Amino acid sequence: MSLPTPLRVEDVSDDRFLELARRGPHPVPIEQAPAWDAYDAAVWGREHLARLAVIGADDAPVAVVSLSRYEVRGFPYVWAKHGPIVLVEQTPENEKAIRDALVAALRERYPWAVFARLHARHAAGDLHELLQTVTFDHTVYVDLTAPEDQIMASFSKRGRYKIRRTLKDEAMTVAEETGLTGEQFEELYEIYRETAAGAGFGIFPAEMYLTMLDTLSPHARIWVARRHDAGPDGDLAPGRAVAWVIAVVHEDGGTDYYAANNLEARDTNAALRLKWEILTTLKAEGVREYDLFGVGSERAPQLMGVREFKQQFGEIVECDGAWDVPLKTVRYRALTTALRLKRAIR
């Protein structure tokens, strides 16, 4: 069904934004929520800009979006991280109509912006692959509204077997360690270095993750898996960390934001144990859905390494990937050319 046009774009208060965003098919992404603003303010080059509603000709809201200012190679842009949140049937036509209304508004509001980064389910002629960074358009959602035994039953046969086995491993514990110090995080960051080196992706300096945990408190939380034996050769320190997860919890939704595990964790299925402990903890707190936050696909080949692991927790489904939409066509073309040349030189 086509949207009643013309569409208009209006500023909305934080409360009104959340009221409308909760009508979406999934819990409100924290990146779109007011809780995220403090994190934007703490990171150089970022700034929260506005929360907007796209309104149909019948005065019914059809989408909401929160916008932040980012910068790449000196070019400023607007990112609606995990937005817009579409409140109507998400057809290609409806997405395009909403996007057209937003692009017109952004060009008027933010004449300095070279492009906008918006999320969309359907590819279209006005959408370009990202200049930098990785997006994903498939993920796994774990429904936490069912009883624990039904949640376990929804996992793959192999996943169930491994989780049950690791739950019997008395040498392993999983605990929430939210509130750790920078010095305590150093042990965990070394594990992340190992994970990144093995998988071939880059990571931020440790300060970025500590800033996230601090500014997004109490939403950003960290769980750590530790082993209390001395290892197969008897030369390892009891209590050592082997894996960890930073999860972000907002209202009734949880997200698996960052995760790391070393070789010992992989040998002992610590990552599976971590996920199960997080899922059961958040379920008890009233969280209804947990997003494993992306798996590999044609658009995200860099994430193929986690696809098989995350598939143990449920069905892989489509989600809205990020795309770049030029606001200043000539400058955007110059930026893409510069980045292409830079990569060719490497």
Secondary structure string (H, E, C) spanning the chain? CCCCCCCEEEECCHHHHHHHHCCCCCCCCHHHCHHHHHHHHHCCCCEEEEEEEEECCCCCEEEEEEEEEEEECCEEEEECCCCCEECCCCCHHHHHHHHHHHHHHHHHHCCCCCEEEEEECCCCCCCECCCCCCCCCEEEEEECCCCHHHHHHCCCHHHHHHHHHHHCCCCEEEEECCCCCHHHHHHHHHHHHHHHHHHCCCCCCHHHHHHHHHHCCCCEEEEEEEECCCCCCCCCCCCEEEEEEEEEEECCEEEEEEEEECHHHHHHCHHHHHHHHHHHHHHHCCCCEEECCCCCCCCCHHHHHHHHHHHCCCCEEECCEEEEEECCHHHHHHHHHHHHHHHHHC
**What is the mean pLDDT of the segment spanning 250-268?**
96
- Do 167 and 314 reside in the same domain of the chain? yes
The whole-number pLDDT of residue 1 equals 66
The whole-number pLDDT of residue 324 equals 98
> Looking at the domain assignment, is residue 198 inside a domain?
yes
Q: In the structure, what pLDDT confidence band is assigned to residue 345 with cuts at 50, 70 and 90?
A: confident
Tokens of 5: 């046009």
Model pLDDT for residues 58-78, shown as the tens digit of each residue? 999 999 999 999 987 788 999
- Do 157 and 272 reside in the same domain of the chain? yes
Domain boundaries, position 240: 138-318
Tokens of 74: 């000196």
Model pLDDT for residues 75-133, shown as the tens digit of each residue? 899 999 999 999 999 999 999 999 999 999 999 999 999 999 999 999 999 999 998 88
> Looking at the domain assignment, is residue 2 inside a domain?
no
The whole-number pLDDT of residue 87 equals 98
> Looking at the domain assignment, is residue 331 inside a domain?
yes
The whole-number pLDDT of residue 339 equals 81
- Do 82 and 210 reside in the same domain of the chain? no
- Do 52 and 163 reside in the same domain of the chain? no
Taking a C-beta distance cutoff of 8 angstroms, is the pair 293, 310 a contact? no
- Do 143 and 261 reside in the same domain of the chain? yes
Residue 187 belongs to domain with CATH number: 3.40.630.30
- Do 131 and 144 reside in the same domain of the chain? no
- Do 191 and 55 reside in the same domain of the chain? no
Domain count, the chain: 2
